[in-house]
């Protein structure tokens, strides 16, 4: 080998050594950049894999969109792969920026600036927290106002669910109070519009002593033994009269219904005995101070039958007509003077009388005299009740002889 060749070889060798040395020096930063680029690419790979999974979960949450979601997901997936190379270039540039940011963060000035920024961030967070707490307190106050029935409610659209609940509860309470007030007003209106229940208006009562005298005579030639008199007794359950048995001249041995049996003993031929039965009667004038559906119906019937005629026939016609229209009614047999006014003392011969009564729930039995044309009233203490049934006769019983009898009613 000549000198020129050896010199060239030496020069090439030196250049190679220098080149290798310089390559070793520069390999560190290049390797760091390459490894960072590789890590970014590695991190990007799961993102590409999770993109279809995210779209699948969205499809599961919103199945109503069907296949359109699946097609959109596939398009997005393809679009991500098409821009993969652009993103890698951007990642390389971001790697350089990251290295520069790290160098800047290592300087003390940058650290202090970061601390100041963190401090400002904390202060802003604390201030926002304070504002949120103030908002919550305001919402709480608003809720309390709403629950207490206050009409001032927050107009901001950012009211909480509790505010909505309090508003609804306030609305419910107001609606319930309005409904209760309307109910009470309806009740008061019904109380005002409904007429009061009818009631009796009473006059001054009068006391009477009513006597029944039955005279029994044995007209036979022999003695009549164990003589008994079966006498219909006075009865009464009308509100305008009260009747009590006061005294009897002979013993009452039996009472069957309104028929009382009295024992007179033996009667000789031509002998007579009197059976005397005394009652105390209190009669009271009465009238009705209001009306009702039953009273109006009964009055219409009364207008059809009232007037002159036989008192018993008029009373019977009224009762039959009232019963046909669903009213309770009955005929009353007793005594009344032929002239208007209170009952007077003396014999009741010629004072036999009949009238009627109908039943009203709030009043009981109401008198109707079609002969005197008294509807739902007796203006005088003039009517004395004997019975509500058929007029039963007086019967005499005895063994032997021939018994006859007569009777008399009088007011004393």
Residue 341 near residue 206, CB atoms below 8 Å = no
In which region does residue 401 sit, left (phi positive, over 0), alpha (psi from -120 to 50) or beta (all else)?
left
Give the closest residue to 218 by CA, choosing from 394, 395, 405, 393: 405
Residue 146 near residue 169, CB atoms below 8 Å = yes
User: Per residue in 153-188, is it b (16+ CB within 10 Å) or e — as a string?
Assistant: ebeeeebeeebeebbeebeeeeeeeeeeeeeeeeee
Query: What is the set of domains in the chain, with CATH numbers?
Result: 3-106 (no CATH), 203-284+393-411 (2.60.40), 289-387 (3.10.620.30)
pLDDT (0 to 100) of residue 364: 96
- Report the DSSP beta bridge partners of residue 346: 411
Residue 361 near residue 288, CB atoms below 8 Å = no
Phi, psi of 343 (to 5 degrees): -65, 140
pLDDT per residue as tens, the chain (412 positions)? 555 667 777 887 887 877 776 665 555 544 444 444 444 444 443 444 443 443 333 344 444 433 333 333 334 333 333 444 444 445 545 444 545 554 444 444 444 444 444 444 444 444 444 444 444 444 444 444 434 433 333 343 333 444 444 444 444 444 444 544 555 555 555 455 666 789 999 999 999 999 999 999 999 999 999 999 999 999 999 999 999 999 999 999 999 889 999 999 999 999 999 999 999 999 999 999 989 999 999 999 999 999 989 999 999 999 999 999 999 999 999 999 999 999 999 999 999 999 999 999 999 999 999 999 999 999 999 999 999 988 789 999 999 999 999 999 999 9
Q: Whole-angstrom Cα distance, residue 78 to residue 74?
A: 6
Q: Whole-angstrom Cα distance, residue 218 to residue 225?
A: 10
pLDDT (0 to 100) of residue 166: 42
pLDDT (0 to 100) of residue 399: 95
């Amino acid at each position: 080998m000549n000198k020129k060749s050896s010199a060239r070889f030496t020069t090439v060798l030196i250049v190679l050594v220098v080149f290798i040395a310089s390559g070793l020096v520069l390999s560190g930063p290049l390797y760091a950049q390459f490894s960072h680029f590789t890590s970014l690419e590695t991190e990007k790979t799961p993102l590409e894999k999770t993109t279809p999974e995210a779209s699948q979960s969205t499809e599961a949450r919103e199945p109503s969109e069907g296949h359109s979601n699946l097609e959109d997901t596939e398009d997005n997936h393809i679009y991500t792969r098409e821009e993969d190379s652009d993103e890698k270039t951007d990642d390389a540039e971001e790697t350089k920026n990251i290295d520069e940011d790290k160098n800047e963060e290592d300087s003390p000035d940058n650290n202090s600036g970061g601390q100041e920024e963190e401090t400002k961030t904390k202060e802003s967070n604390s201030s926002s927290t304070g504002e949120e707490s103030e908002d919550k307190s305001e919402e709480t106050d608003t809720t309390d106002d709403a629950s207490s029935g206050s009409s001032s409610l927050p107009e901001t659209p950012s009211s909480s669910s509790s505010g909505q609940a309090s508003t609804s509860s306030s609305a419910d309470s107001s609606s319930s109070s309005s409904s209760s007030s309307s109910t009470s007003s309806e009740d008061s209106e019904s109380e005002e519009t409904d007429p009061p229940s009818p009631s009796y208006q009473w006059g001054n009562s009068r006391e009477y002593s009513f006597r029944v005298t039955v005279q029994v005579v044995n007209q036979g030639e022999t003695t009549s033994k164990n003589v008994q008199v079966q006498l219909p007794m006075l009865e009464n359950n009308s509100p305008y009269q009260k009747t009590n048995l006061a005294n009897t001249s002979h013993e009452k041995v039996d009472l069957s219904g309104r028929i009382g049996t009295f024992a007179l003993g033996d009667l000789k031929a031509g002998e007579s005995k009197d059976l005397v039965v005394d009652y105390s009667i209190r009669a009271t004038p009465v009238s009705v101070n209001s009306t009702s559906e039953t009273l109006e119906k009964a009055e219409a019937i009364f207008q059809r039958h009232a007037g002159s005629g036989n008192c018993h026939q008029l009373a019977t016609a009224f009762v039959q007509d009232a019963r046909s229209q669903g009213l309770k009614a009955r005929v009353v047999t007793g005594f009344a003077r032929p002239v208007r006014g209170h009952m007077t003392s003396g014999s009741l011969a010629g004072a036999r009388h009949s009238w009627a009564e109908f039943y009203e729930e709030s009043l009981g039995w109401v008198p109707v005299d079609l002969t005197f044309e008294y509807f739902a009233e007796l203006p005088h203490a003039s009517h004395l009740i004997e019975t509500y049934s058929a007029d039963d006769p007086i019967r005499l019983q005895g063994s032997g002889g021939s018994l006859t009898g007569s009777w008399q009613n009088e007011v004393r």
